[in-house]
Structure 1
């Protein structure tokens, strides 16, 4: 008579291995989803590191000065991801310049911001291609979970306090010098 208990032990062992494999894969997926959520909401700290500072001058087509800014230059992924997030305020003639290797469409996201910004898109030749204003989130849910964004074309993106462009008469077609 064959020993049936041996077959049952093998089936139980295989079933147990499958259960552990499913639990392991499920655990990894949950961990990845939690990390993505924390990264997306800005709750997972990403450091920007040290920023190079530059002075930029904005002029109209004839060379008349519109304004001068001191900017932090965000070149690396970490610097660009952090940007001005969780910055309490920005001095009147300060900003952040995002640099990219070539001209293209750029999406800018207001992540964890306490104040509105003018987003100035600048072509590789220094010409301003567009300006958009983004508002700061209205509450904690917007602050952590929903973000305003805008898309424009340029090799550089300049973030300054909302209203700076209008106050200085800056518009598309004006020029920026001092770019990296």
Structure 2
């Protein structure tokens, strides 16, 4: 019985932890033209799976850069993500391949139109407000 209770407590603790926003990831400064982005870097499977889930707010100059081991078609959805987001799929050299708008808490799939290693999520409308479109280049350490 004690083992069962300990297991139940551990599972409840894991479930509670899983519903917390991750805010302490490493950060990198990116440039989109004259605009500076303070991006959290999600580079592990767990970090990428959690992404911006459960986050209730994000400053306008911040985002999350998802880094994958090798280029492939990347697809994202918004399960448990409370913020409306814009997503840019980015090639190895920093060129934005395509941008999409994502609605909160949906399972709609948003995919890169060709293989990429990087995906940048920002608050919804950030790219369009800054006049940044597919073909624009991001600059920063990951793209060197």
Distance change >3 Å, CA 178–CA 113, structure 1 → 2: same
Report whether the alignment pairs 1:51 with 2:25.
yes
CA RMSD in angstroms comes to: 2.2
Give the Cα separation in 1 of the matches to 2:74 and 2:85. 16
Q: Which runs of 5+ in 1 are unaligned?
A: 1-41, 60-64, 138-145
Shift of residue 68 of structure 1?
1.3
Report whether the alignment pairs 1:150 with 2:110.
yes
Shift of residue 147 of structure 1?
1.5
Aligned to 2:6: none
Q: Does the CA-based 8 Å contact 1:46-1:78 persist in structure 2?
A: no
Report whether the alignment pairs 1:74 with 2:52.
no
TM-score (norm 2): 0.79
1:1-180 alignment, distance < 5 Å: 45=18, 50-59=24-33, 65=34, 67-137=35-105, 147-152=107-112, 153=114, 154-180=116-142
Shift of residue 155 of structure 1?
1.1
Give the Cα separation in 2 of the matches to 1:104 and 1:119. 16
Shift of residue 44 of structure 1?
8.1
Question: Could you report, residue by residue, the CA deviation over 1:42-98 in whole angstroms, capped at 9, with x for unpaired residues?
Answer: 888278684110110012xxxxx2x21101000001100110000001111100000
Q: Does the CA-based 8 Å contact 2:19-2:54 persist in structure 1?
A: no
Shift of residue 109 of structure 1?
1.4
SS at match of 2:47: helix
Stretches of 4+ moved more than 3 A in 1?
46-50
Alignment coverage as a number of residue pairs: 126
Larger Rg: 1
